[in-house]
Structure 1
Amino acid sequence: MKRRVLFVCTANSARSLMAEALLRNMAGDRFEVASAGTEPTSPHPMALQVLEEAGIATEGLHSKQLADVQGQYWDYVITLCEKAASECGTVCQPAQQIAWDFPDPVPANRHATFALTLKEIRERIALFALVHQKETGPKPASYDPVAVFKALADDFRLSALLLIRSQEQLCVCELTEAFEAPQPKVSRHLAILRDAGLLATDRRGQWIYYSLNPEIPQWLGRVLDETASHNARLIENPLARLQAMADRPSVQCL
């Protein structure tokens, strides 16, 4: 599965759009990329111009609100200015937060300044893609009992795993509703279960659906079967809320 990268700056008009276009052009086969702004405006014409002059596609590039993408899962959130880094804090958890700082070329409004910014961001993107080249594939789980039981030693994670097991697959928005929990908390715990090899993922558009990993060993499958059959109360309330969600046509995963 491709790693997901979100670039963030203040206006999402130049630097973060350049970074989005560059990474997609340089390593789009290994990363899914987007950008957003804390105070978005619109793409700066000169930013689009220097990208096109460099032979980099600009179709589909547009400025977006950070709030519009916070509900999605991201592996990396990369800020491109100090202001965005301070305002973003720890958005999109459990994403790895990376802070870069490039001068904003917009105030100068000069072609040469935009071209220099593009060059500097391109160099950083190339290094990022190289460093993370070996990290884009899923890491095989060891299913060490200590690691497995540590991942399950949380009431929310255990209940979420059992609920997913009972429904075969669920997305973050459904789990958020079922447990009446904020999205960052749900995503953080799902990432722990996924990293432990307990969950598999399937991307559909902007949403990731989670299911029980078919690769889990037989001994672990038996543990989960026994746990589920003797502890139905763990998912009783979440299951009821999930059913209520299904019965309301207006409630959808947007």
Structure 2
Amino acid sequence: MLAMKRVIFLCTGNSARSQLAEALLRHQAGHFFEVFSAGSQPHDIDPRTIAALQKFHLPVDGLQSKSIDEFAGQSFDYVITLCDKARQECAQLPQAREVIAWDYPDPRTSDNPRAFELTLQELNERIKMFVLVQSKEQKGALNPVINPLQLFKCLADETRLAVMLLLQHRGTLSVTELAQALQESQPKVSRHLAQLRGCGLVLDERCNQNVLYQVHPRLPDWSVRVLHEAAQADSQHIQQLAQRIQERSNA
């Protein structure tokens, strides 16, 4: 995996918006980012924050309200403020490489009973774009740095593992071909490919109307051997998946 980037979300109370953002980014790309949140005037997490996360089956383990002061002197790649007050006070984190301002209304002050869910959904779209941009920036890195724990963590999912072994077997494949082989929806396959890009395991390249994916050509030798051995051990299954692609192209 490429070196993990440190991200902290800030708002005033660290009870709603920043907690939602922390949970979302950790869920979407916890293999790529170390994620934190804090508040300038922290107080207990609003129960509606937890309820919104649980409604969408997002993990809430480890979430707790924290003060900006707890992170004094620490360095971050990105400090993302979620309200204007936090933006003004983020000078307390002088070692931030980049400060990004996302201004979201506080759902606690809204009369809309779905305010927390709507804020979660809006943050989800913003964070998906943030992850996509970051993975695009990282895809051209010359030498992905990955250790065994990071590799196996990234591949600890049946779909992502199958994608990697298919790419190892076929060389380059499109999202359409992968979806056909795995009999999964294209959006689901695309989400897993984004995670693999974030890990530094795959590269993508546009070819006419298609985007083709391949195993990163500069993975460390030991990780290439792991993928090769895994593909050989599961060769019958991988060939069956690849056959679905061939059948589609012959149709």
Distance, in Å, in 2 between the alignment partners of 1:69 and 1:111 is 33
Identity of aligned residues (%): 46
Distance, in Å, in 1 between the alignment partners of 2:95 and 2:9 is 14
Q: How does 1:203-242 map to 2 (within 5 A)?
A: none
Q: In structure 2, what residue type is equivalent to 1:3?
A: K
The number of residue pairs the alignment matches comes to: 141
User: Could you list the runs of 4 or more consecutive aligned residues of structure 1 that deviate by over 6 angstroms after TM superposition?
Assistant: none
SS at the partner of 2:114? helix
Unaligned runs of 5+ in 1: 142-254
Partner residue, 2:128: 126
Q: Does 1:12 align with 2:14?
A: yes
| Aligned pair partner of 1:75 in 59, 77, 82 | 77
Report the alpha carbon displacement of residue 71 of structure 1 after superposing the two structures with TM.
Answer: 2.1
| Aligned pair partner of 1:2 in 4, 9, 13 | 4
> CA deviation digits over 1:158-195, x for unaligned, max 9?
xxxxxxxxxxxxxxxxxxxxxxxxxxxxxxxxxxxxxx
Distance, in Å, in 2 between the alignment partners of 1:94 and 1:50 is 30
SS at the partner of 1:77? strand
SS at the partner of 1:41? coil
Unaligned runs of 5+ in 2: 144-251
Q: How does 1:70-219 map to 2 (within 5 A)?
A: 70-89=72-91, 91-108=93-110, 110-136=112-138
Distance, in Å, in 2 between the alignment partners of 1:89 and 1:56 is 31
Query: What is the alpha-carbon root mean square deviation over aligned residues?
Result: 2.0
Are the aligned partners of 2:78 and 2:97 in contact in 1 as well (CA < 8 Å)?
yes
Q: TM-score when scaled to structure 2?
A: 0.53
Report the alpha carbon displacement of residue 139 of structure 1 after superposing the two structures with TM.
Answer: 5.2
**Residues 113, 35 of structure 1: alpha-carbon distance in 2 compared, 3 angstrom cutoff:** same
Are the aligned partners of 2:79 and 2:96 in contact in 1 as well (CA < 8 Å)?
no
**Residues 94, 47 of structure 1: alpha-carbon distance in 2 compared, 3 angstrom cutoff:** closer
Are the aligned partners of 1:40 and 1:64 in contact in 2 as well (CA < 8 Å)?
yes
Q: In structure 2, what residue type is equivalent to 1:89?
A: A
Distance, in Å, in 2 between the alignment partners of 1:111 and 1:61 is 23
Report the alpha carbon displacement of residue 93 of structure 1 after superposing the two structures with TM.
Answer: 1.7
Report the alpha carbon displacement of residue 138 of structure 1 after superposing the two structures with TM.
Answer: 9.8
Q: TM-score when scaled to structure 1?
A: 0.52
Q: Does 1:51 align with 2:49?
A: no
